[in-house]
Amino acid sequence: MCLYIFLASVLSAQDVRTSKSGLNFREVALNSACNSFNNQAFMAILDILNYPDPRLYTVAEPVQEVDATIHRLIDDMAETMYAAPGIGLAATQVNVHRQVIVIDTSEDKQNLQVFINPRLLTQCGSQDYEEGCLSVPGVYETVTRAEKITVEALGRDGKPFTLKAEGLLAVCIQHEMDHLLGKVFVDYLSQLKQVRIKNKMKKRQRNHA
Ligand code: K1U
Ligand code: ZN
């Protein structure tokens, strides 16, 4: 709002040439400045659900339209993932039950990858990787997953793409797709380990309360 008043006073009130949209150039400039200000200034860090919160077991619904609400969710999820810090985040973990994933496994954190409505087309081989999860803080356990995968999804622009992945990226995509199916990596572990992890989380919650 402050920005709007500031720009309104800076842009000349006499400049009333009309654009194609029917707005005058002063209004177009104000709208575009305010949109970009809103997008950048109000990205939020979202609360991440902690295991064994029952909401983590919700199956996510497909996204029907990649609109401004989904863009806002993606931006907030990316902000939340980078702040955590983590290399991936599924919408389920922030209690939004839509098929949206963000991932950045790059060193410099400049390669955000967005997967909307992801589908696994092919998988082959197997690899063991010591996984972590932002919903299970402080727990790292080895999980066996496919070594190479091909995934199809929509990007942030709503356009379909196909990606071949291996190594950490393949692990991360599979881990995040499990979240969308209501599955947490702890579910792959023995009953004894699951009980121990649940007790550790309860203790952690008591100490952080
Ligand atoms: O889904 C999540 O909870 C995010 C998770 C992704 C993941 C990590 C490792 C294997 C599979 C999936 C994390 O990001 S846990 C944190 C983490 O791995 C990390 C944090 C900081 C720097 C590097 C890695
Ligand atoms: Zn996780």
Residue 65 annotated in active site? no
Cα–Cα distance, 133 to 52 (Å, whole number) = 12
Spans of the chain, pLDDT less than 70: 1-41
| pLDDT at residue 208, rounded to an integer | 84
Could you report how far apart the first and last alpha carbons of the chain are, in Å? 37
User: What beta strand segments (E) does 74-140 contain?
Assistant: 88-90, 100-103, 113-124, 127-131
Angle between helices 2-10 and 25-41 (to 10 degrees): 150
Place of tokens 């209690």: 95
| pLDDT at residue 13, rounded to an integer | 36
| pLDDT at residue 30, rounded to an integer | 43
Q: Tens digits of per-residue pLDDT, 38-89?
A: 555 689 999 999 999 999 999 999 999 999 999 999 999 999 999 999 999 9
Atom 19 in ligand 1: residue holding the nearest Cα: 86
Q: What residue type is assigned to position 29 of the chain?
A: A
Q: For the residues of 152-175, what is the DSSP string, one character each? A: EEE-TTS-EEEEEEEHHHHHHHHH
Angle at 86 between CA 81 and CA 89, to 5 degrees: 55
Q: Of these residues, 61, 79, 166, 176, which one is catalytic?
A: 176
Per DSSP, the three-state class of 195 is helix
- 92 Cβ closer than 6 Å to some ligand 1 atom: no
Nearest to 102 by CA among 121, 125, 86: 86
DSSP annotation of 115: E
Strands 160-166 and 113-124, by their bridges, are unpaired
Cα–Cα distance, 23 to 29 (Å, whole number) = 10
User: Greatest CA span in the chain, whole angstroms?
Assistant: 74
Atom 20 in ligand 1: residue holding the nearest Cα: 86
CA contacts within 13 A on the Cβ side of 140: 4
- 63 Cβ closer than 6 Å to some ligand 1 atom: no
- Residue 138, judged by CB atoms within 10 A of its CB (0-12, 13-18, 19+), counts as exposed
Q: What residue type is assigned to position 140 of the chain?
A: Y
